[in-house]
């Protein structure tokens, strides 16, 4: 693979879908939210994105099969007549150049279906325990910022940016005439935070006028914890290999 590409799995019919992005990030807050919606409302996966800017590794599942690094697009035809494209995945681009390339291709793709508004989901790390997660947000227009405030979202002040796909997609989307907002659940940041995800999910559902049962969110968080634990182990092993002296090959694993 020498370039980023999107693999179509099936064609879908969508009318001006709202785009929701939730790639891995702090506390995996957004990822939990989006995957919960996908499972509860039976969204349909219709495309996958692969890129050489993703980490050079694969996941090994419980049954011994492997899963490549990828982003996945899901289509959802909402009961309220609103369509959605939901983006999840197990990674983001490693480099700034890779992030720009991947985000540009993502926007090209969702624009083809008529997407004009997006919501990006993530976590806002505090680095310390919190009693109750608040939801922070930022938007591309004053009108959307006011809408966030009406939904009990605390607006971010000028004390930092939004790093990664959640911020870059909004910024690049603005240049194309797409508007949207980022919702960030307040989290310590050093564990998979289902409570922060619940807070973000409730706000997102209110904004979108959707109904989703949140009872299984904690169960899904435990599944994600196991996945992240495996990923962290892989990263440690890769780091150890990269620091081996010549002739000191590590024979504990294959590949």
Q: At what angle do helices 194-208 and 217-242 cross, to 10 degrees?
A: 120
* Span 116-143, average pLDDT: 90
**What 3-state DSSP class applies to 49?**
strand
Q: Does residue 220 or residue 169 have the better pLDDT?
A: 169
Contact 50, 62 (CB under 8 A): no
Q: Is residue 250 part of a domain?
A: no
Output the pLDDT for position 113: 97
Does residue 238 carry a pLDDT above 80? no
Output the pLDDT for position 254: 37
Q: Is residue 160 part of a domain?
A: yes
Rg of the Cα atoms in the chain: 18
Does residue 11 carry a pLDDT above 80? yes
Q: Could you list the residue range(s) of the whole structural domain that residue 128 is in?
A: 5-242
How far is residue 209's CA from residue 232's CA, in Å, rounded to a whole number?
37
Q: Is residue 247 part of a domain?
A: no
User: Mean pLDDT for the chain?
Assistant: 87
Q: Is residue 251 part of a domain?
A: no
Contact 69, 58 (CB under 8 A): yes
Q: Is residue 186 part of a domain?
A: yes
Phi, psi of 51 (to 5 degrees): -155, 140
How far is residue 230's CA from residue 224's CA, in Å, rounded to a whole number?
10
Does residue 220 carry a pLDDT above 90? no
Output the pLDDT for position 228: 57
Q: Is residue 107 part of a domain?
A: yes
Q: Does residue 60 or residue 205 have the better pLDDT?
A: 205
DSSP 120: E
Write out pLDDT tens, residues 26-78.
878 999 999 999 999 999 999 999 999 999 999 887 788 999 999 999 999 98
Q: Is residue 130 part of a domain?
A: yes
CATH of the domain at 190: 3.40.50.10900
Q: Does residue 206 or residue 217 have the better pLDDT?
A: 206
Q: Quote the number of domains for the chain.
A: 1
Using DSSP bridges, classify how beta strands 135-139 and 154-155 pair: parallel, antiparallel or unpaired: parallel
Output the pLDDT for position 250: 44
| pLDDT above 90 coverage of the chain, percent | 62
Does residue 226 carry a pLDDT above 90? no
Contact 123, 201 (CB under 8 A): no
Output the pLDDT for position 175: 96
Does residue 4 carry a pLDDT above 90? yes
* Span 211-237, average pLDDT: 69
Output the pLDDT for position 249: 46
Residues of the chain by 3-state class (helix, strand, coil), percent to 5: 35, 25, 40
């Amino acid at each position: 693979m020498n370039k980023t590409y999107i693999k179509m799995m099936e064609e879908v019919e969508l009318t001006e879908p709202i785009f929701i992005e939730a790639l891995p990030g702090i506390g995996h807050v957004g990822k939990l939210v989006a995957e919960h919606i996908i499972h509860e409302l039976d969204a349909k996966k219709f495309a996958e994105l692969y890129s050489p800017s993703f980490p050079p590794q694969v996941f090994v599942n419980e049954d011994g099969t492997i899963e490549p690094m990828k982003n996945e697009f899901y289509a959802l035809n909402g009961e309220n007549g609103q369509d959605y494209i939901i983006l999840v995945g197990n990674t983001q681009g490693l480099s700034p150049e890779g992030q720009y390339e991947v985000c540009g291709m993502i926007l090209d793709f969702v624009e083809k279906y008529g997407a004009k508004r997006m919501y990006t989901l993530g976590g806002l790390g505090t680095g310390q325990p919190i009693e109750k997660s608040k939801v922070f947000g930022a938007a591309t227009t004053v009108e959307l910022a006011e809408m966030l405030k009406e939904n009990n979202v605390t607006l971010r002040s000028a004390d930092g940016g939004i790093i990664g796909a959640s911020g870059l997609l909004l910024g690049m989307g603005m240049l194309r005439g797409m508007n949207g907002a980022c919702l960030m659940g307040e989290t310590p940041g050093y564990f998979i935070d289902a409570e922060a995800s619940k807070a973000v999910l409730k706000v997102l559902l209110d904004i979108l006028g959707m109904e989703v049962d949140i009872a299984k969110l904690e169960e899904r968080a435990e599944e994600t914890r196991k996945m992240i634990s495996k990923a962290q182990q892989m990263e440690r092993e890769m780091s150890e290999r990269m620091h081996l002296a010549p002739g000191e090959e590590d024979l504990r694993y294959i590949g």
